[in-house]
Each structure stands twice: as structure tokens, then as C-alpha cells.
């Protein structure tokens, strides 16, 4: 059972996250001090800007640059992507290459504008036909948009996972509805969504501390266990 940061921009020089290997190393040090065992390296993927093969090659080079300095230090890295939603994605053959390494989990970033029925059907197809284990990235960032309320409710009925940013649990006013989501089993995992060092920094430990205070140690253990199974970490099998 591992402490997993489900969302990060730790790889250097590939997106708007870490600028270079030094910054990535500092971020890894911070995560390590917070007890993170595994960090998912979920660099942004936009189908409108990237060809999958180019993205994969750039991601591999960024990973190798970091791995050469990191060696065995700090959290283990698992390659993945934060895949921005696009129409037609459920028919994109190579989507399989964007899952979190060693699993069927796909971290999906929904659009920041109003959604529509066909968007929701597309997510459903990813789950039911393509058999991805969809993880919705930082769902709380969409919860303030009244147009999307009904669509969020539909998504939450589906067999998918919801990732919340640790940062969102730090303000007492924002945290209340999110704690409820975790409590009801409608939110599942935490991510730091870390981009750099001074702000949007690795802060998984702070988010976990809030969850533990509100929902107890057994809840945190169950979350870690479920995450480890989903990602097949430590020889554990699928959820």
C-alpha cells in the first residue's frame, strides 16, 4: 500500500510545470518529506497541439533527464498524462498509450467551458466500451459552474474515479463539500497537481492531513489501498 500523488507536472521542460531538473529535484525532495511513495508524472496532453508519438518521445526524454539525476532518490515516478478531453477521443486508437504506466487508468481533464450531452456520452464510451479506468482530474474546479452541475451528477453515477487537488482541501470553506464527496465515496484520490516550488507546490501531505483529521486514519488507509490496486503498485491487483 503506497502513498500516491495522483497528479503532478514533475517532469522537467515538457509543459507549464517544472522548468528544469533542478526544480524537479526540489519538488521531489518536498514530496519525499511528506511521505509520498509514488508520484504520477501526468504532463499535459492536448490532442489539438500534440501528436501522440511526439508527446511520448518528449516525455521519455524529460523522464530520462530527470532519472539520470534522481536515481533512487525520493518517490518512484510512474509515467502518465493529464489528457485534455476532446470530441472523438473515445475513437482515438492510441489513447491506450496515454494511460498511467502499468494500468488502464486514464487521467482526464474535462473542458473548462460548458459541457454537453455528447461530451458525457464520450466519457461513458471510454469507460464502458474502451474499458479505461477513467480518473477525472480535479473535479472541484468544475463544481462552481452551474451549467455543468447536471452533467457532473451524471458522471458521478458512472464507474469512474475522481481526483481532488490537495490545495482545495486547505481552505475551510472550500473543503466542506469536498470532504462530503470523499465521505460519500464520490471522490477517491488526492493529487498535488504540483507545477513548481513556490506556488502550486507539492502539498499532498497537507491535503492528506486534512482528510485524516476529518475522516480518520482508516479512511486514508483505504484510499491508499484502492489507489495501489488501481495502479497495480506493489504486486496488488486491480480494484
Three cell numbers at 143?
Answer: 463544481
Residue 9 CB, nearest approach to Fe ion (Å): 6
Angle between helices 52-70 and 21-33 (to 10 degrees): 70
Cβ proximity to Fe ion, 5 vs 124, nearer residue: 5
**Phi and psi at residue 117, to the nearest 5°:** -60, -40
Contact 168, 138 (CB under 8 A): yes
Q: Which residue is nearest to Fe ion (CB)?
A: 193
Cβ proximity to Fe ion, 155 vs 194, nearer residue: 194
Cβ proximity to Fe ion, 1 vs 145, nearer residue: 145
Residue 156 CB, nearest approach to Fe ion (Å): 20
Residue 139 CB, nearest approach to Fe ion (Å): 13
Under DSSP, is residue 135 helix (H, G, I), strand (E, B) or coil?
strand
Residue 136 CB, nearest approach to Fe ion (Å): 12
Residue 212 CB, nearest approach to Fe ion (Å): 24
Three cell numbers at 30?
Answer: 518536498
Calpha distance 233→66 (Å, rounded): 21
| Residues at the contact surface with Fe ion, assessed by CB under 5 A | 82, 193
Cβ proximity to Fe ion, 48 vs 146, nearer residue: 48
Calpha distance 236→232 (Å, rounded): 5
Calpha distance 49→19 (Å, rounded): 19
CA distances from 223 to 64, 77, 226 (A): 30, 19, 5
Cβ proximity to Fe ion, 140 vs 193, nearer residue: 193
Amino acid at each position: 500500500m503506497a502513498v500516491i500523488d495522483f497528479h503532478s507536472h514533475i517532469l522537467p521542460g515538457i509543459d507549464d510545470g517544472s522548468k528544469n531538473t533542478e526544480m524537479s529535484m526540489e519538488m521531489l525532495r518536498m514530496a519525499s518529506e511528506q511521505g509520498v511513495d509514488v508520484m504520477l508524472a501526468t504532463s499535459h496532453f492536448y490532442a489539438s497541439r500534440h501528436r501522440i508519438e511526439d508527446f511520448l518521445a518528449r516525455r521519455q526524454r524529460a523522464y530520462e533527464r530527470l532519472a539520470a539525476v534522481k536515481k533512487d532518490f525520493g518517490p518512484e515516478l510512474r509515467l502518465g498524462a493529464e489528457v485534455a478531453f476532446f470530441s472523438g477521443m473515445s475513437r482515438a486508437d492510441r489513447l491506450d498509450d496515454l494511460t498511467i504506466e502499468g494500468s488502464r487508468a486514464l487521467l482526464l481533464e474535462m473542458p473548462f467551458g460548458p459541457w454537453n450531452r455528447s461530451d458525457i456520452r464520450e466519457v461513458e464510451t471510454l469507460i464502458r466500451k474502451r474499458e479505461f479506468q477513467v480518473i477525472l482530474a480535479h473535479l472541484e474546479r468544475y463544481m462552481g459552474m452551474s451549467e455543468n452541475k447536471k452533467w457532473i451528477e451524471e458522471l458521478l453515477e458512472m464507474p469512474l474515479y475522481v481526483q481532488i487537488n490537495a490545495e482545495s482541501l486547505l481552505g475551510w470553506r472550500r473543503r466542506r463539500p469536498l470532504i462530503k464527496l470523499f465521505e460519500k465515496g464520490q471522490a477517491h484520490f488526492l493529487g498535488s497537481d504540483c507545477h513548481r516550488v513556490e506556488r502550486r507546490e507539492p502539498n499532498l501531505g497537507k491535503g492528506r492531513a486534512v482528510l485524516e483529521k476529518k475522516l480518520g486514519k482508516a479512511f486514508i488507509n483505504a484510499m491508499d489501498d484502492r489507489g495501489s490496486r488501481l495502479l497495480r503498485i506493489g504486486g496488488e491487483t486491480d480494484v
